Structure 1
Amino acid sequence: MASFYKYQTKNGVFWRFVIDNGKDPITGKRKQTSRQGFKTKREAQEMAYELEKEIKGKGSIFQGDNKSFYDFCNMWLDIYQNQRAVKPGTIRIRKNEINNWQHYFRHISIEDITLKMFQDAINDMKKRFSESTLEGIYITGKMIFEKAVELEIIKEDPTRYSYFPRYTKTVEEIENEEKLPNYMEKNELSNFLKTCKDHGLLHDYEIFLTLAYTGLRLGELCALKTTDVFEEEGTYFLKISKTLYNPKNIIKDYKLVTTKNKTSRRTIDIAPVVYDALQNVISYNEQLKEATGEDYHDEDFIFVNSNKYPGYPHYIKFVQHRMNRILRIANMNQHLSPHAFRHTHTSLLAEAGVELERIMKRLGHANDEITKRIYLHITKPVREKDAERFSQLMDQVINIET
């Protein structure tokens, strides 16, 4: 199995790899093959895999203890991360899914895993996981074995004729699926924002006003920078191109990653009241920057910490805590989350007569069942009137014929 190393020369940074060929049967010493001078890790990986196949022949590239499913999963995850340039959050999910497979196959040779073993494992996991969670585990398992075949580590894919065990849903589960998610009615939103104004902490009003008027995902809001807010010919716009990743909620330990998908990258128009609110926050940050000097984390974020770590962006849990405080003061539903503003935005747009396709585009959705359900719920009275008007028209047609 190859190990990869980055090294520095006067001509720049390069990669090298070392392949462990196992022990020499006569001397007992480990045999190794290495190459270097690769500009990227991916180039080194591709060469290493080709060389491993050449050294080992067309069979397994592993020997001895390195033949395990566990070791190949580590290799697969590295390939998956580099080839697909996936987000850290996706990698974390894949690792969790792999851990579930390790429970069954950790010390078993990947060549010895059969269709029955794979199917028995996924059937057993059905007892412990929801359908959506199990589906992710199943897909990851199939990807691992498909890659093993592609790299000629195994000859046949044991998952090829496997099946995903379907769930029988109860009446209660079906009814819960049809329930609308939590969102605020107009009077509730008005009460919440008024409470923010009267009792909110620093920039609470601006944060929740922006969420209400834009329907942004919370990670998108936390990642906003001053350059994302601009004006053109008297119209104000907000550009959404990134999201904040901070799963441990440690203020300095954040990453900026691309938005959820291609559709999520968008530019939307915003109301003057939102533009003015954001400009007020930006002006405050300029004063904070002058007051804190070099201690300010000057990365141009809009919604930032102003205490111990000035300039660092707020993380999702922080906004959730701020929202919980306002909900308590306003005596509102304590189960509402910041994502409720996204659903509220959908409902208000639907009530305003905005078409579903335009709502989806504004929210950055390629397709979303929850958004559709909210839209159909809000526009139901309008559709009933349409049906009534059509029925009246047809009555006239029938009367003309008679």
Structure 2
Amino acid sequence: MLRIEPLSNGRVKLVKDYKDPLTGGRKRLSKTVNKATRQVQKQVELLLDQRFEREVELSTLNNPHKTLGELIDEWLVIRKERLKPSTYRSQITAVRQVRSGIGNNALLIQLNRQFLVRYLDDQLYKYGKLNSNVKKQFMVLNLMLKYAVQVGYLNDNPAPDYGSISWKKEHKTERQTYPKFLDSDELDRLLTYLRSKDPFIADFCELLYLTGMRFGEAASLQPKNFYTVDNHTYAKIIGTLDYSRINRQKATKSDTPKTEASFRSIRLSSRALEICNKYRVDKRNAEYLFLRHGYPLSATLVDYHLSKAEKELKIKKRVSTHTFRHTHISKLAELGVPLYVIQDRVGHADEKITKEIYLHVTNKSREQAEDKIELL
């Protein structure tokens, strides 16, 4: 409750005592005013309450003067230690944009949801950036600020909710409306083209299609990763290739694959085994199966060949190494393989794109079956 203390100059001091939650002691806050009307007293009491709450908040923080730039530098060191190099690199661009857009000197305690919503909206509409770009900024901002709460630089995470951002309504191009996998004719033409240009690249891409492996999983296959049980040969996926697009000579195999669900053994078909055996010959002591000029295969090189093939064959879909993985999923769905079996084979615990492909293929099969009813 406010106390009124008259001053010798005719003004009055409005005083309120608080209990410090950290020390248990008393804390006195005051404000001097000309007149202590009822309305003024209400306004001053509200002001003093807010000031006390702010002081308590600051007193609980490890470093109330921590800047965004300092947080980013600290967070990146930890991320680099915990993430695979490829994942770390994918976040760096978004972090740089956040650093540039908000500023190194911004105090963490001054960041609030309203400011961050306005910042992200500006990125979308003022600077014309795509949803995909701003979503990456949104993600790293949330992760960094969550870390700031964990280490005591903030009491609450000021990152806005996903739904509070005015995301653009982006219309898909004609190319984007096409399925993310190849039909049988496209697959045959593509592999034939690659075989005429570079049989090694063709074999590698065919293996991606036959097994549903990610590029890094197949590129990091080693002779010791194969085993046979009951006359069936399996490829054991226990890691992925961490490589630099600038210098593939520095490529190394990680101790773990992309996700926990990615640990798996893939049964090889006779053709997949034929391809693997072709490159396993005399490589029992080699580090990797698929080497080009003595170094691990580069995704950039394979995508270069695929881009050329896409244009020359006039394939309307965007073709990359990942397209073969999606095509593998689509073919299994056509064969009636249950979704959970497909997810287990390709190492997806709960992947949206796998479900999208599966539903697309099964719905198409259902439509074709219903059309044939007319023939009864």
TM over 0.5: yes
SS at match of 1:238: strand
Pairing 1:333–2:306 present: no
Partner of 1:263: 261
Pairing 1:117–2:115 present: yes
- 2: CA distance, partners of 1:370 / 1:95: 25
- 2: CA distance, partners of 1:166 / 1:175: 24
Partner of 1:99: 96
- 2: CA distance, partners of 1:322 / 1:389: 40
SS at match of 2:90: helix
Map 1:34-113; keep pairs closer than 5 Å.
Answer: 59-61=61-63, 67-82=66-81, 85-102=82-99, 103-113=101-111
- 2: CA distance, partners of 1:218 / 1:301: 13
Partner of 1:32: none
CA contact (8 A) 1:180 1:370 kept: no
Call closer, same or farther: CA 1:119–1:282 in 2, change over 3 Å.
same
- Cα RMSD between the aligned structures? 3.4
Shift of 1:318: 1.6
Length, aligned pairs only? 312
Shift of 1:267: 0.9
Q: What is the letter of the counterpart of residue 69 of structure 1? A: L
Partner of 1:232: 229
Q: What is the letter of the counterpart of residue 370 of structure 1? A: I
- 2: CA distance, partners of 1:70 / 1:367: 35
- 2: CA distance, partners of 1:155 / 1:371: 39
Shift of 1:141: 1.9
Partner of 2:189: 191
CA offset digits 1:233-266 (Å, max 9, x no partner): 2112112222212242422122323322111221
- 2: CA distance, partners of 1:154 / 1:196: 55
- 1: CA distance, partners of 2:283 / 2:305: 19
CA contact (8 A) 1:114 1:158 kept: yes
Map 1:2-401; keep pairs closer than 5 Å.
Answer: 59-61=61-63, 67-82=66-81, 85-102=82-99, 103-127=101-125, 128-159=128-159, 164-169=164-169, 172-173=171-172, 179-197=177-195, 199-257=196-254, 258-283=256-281, 285=283, 300-306=287-293, 310=294, 312-324=295-307, 331-333=313-315, 335-380=318-363, 382-384=365-367
- 2: CA distance, partners of 1:282 / 1:377: 37
Call closer, same or farther: CA 1:249–1:213 in 2, change over 3 Å.
farther
SS at match of 1:239: strand
Call closer, same or farther: CA 1:99–1:347 in 2, change over 3 Å.
same
- 2: CA distance, partners of 1:280 / 1:380: 38
SS at match of 2:134: helix
Partner of 1:292: none
Shift of 1:349: 1.5
- 2: CA distance, partners of 1:322 / 1:385: 35
- 1: CA distance, partners of 2:337 / 2:161: 46
Partner of 1:290: none
- 2: CA distance, partners of 1:162 / 1:207: 39
CA contact (8 A) 1:220 1:259 kept: yes
- 1: CA distance, partners of 2:92 / 2:310: 36
SS at match of 1:167: coil
CA contact (8 A) 1:180 1:374 kept: no
- Structure 2: which 5+ residue stretches go unaligned? 1-57
CA contact (8 A) 1:101 1:141 kept: yes
Call closer, same or farther: CA 1:116–1:381 in 2, change over 3 Å.
closer
Call closer, same or farther: CA 1:301–1:166 in 2, change over 3 Å.
same
Shift of 1:225: 1.0
Shift of 1:90: 2.8
TM-score after normalising by structure 1: 0.66
CA contact (8 A) 2:186 2:315 kept: no
- Structure 1: which 5+ residue stretches go unaligned? 1-55, 287-297, 391-402
SS at match of 1:126: helix
Q: What is the letter of the counterpart of residue 188 of structure 1? A: E
SS at match of 2:325: helix
CA contact (8 A) 1:259 1:265 kept: yes
- 1: CA distance, partners of 2:78 / 2:191: 47
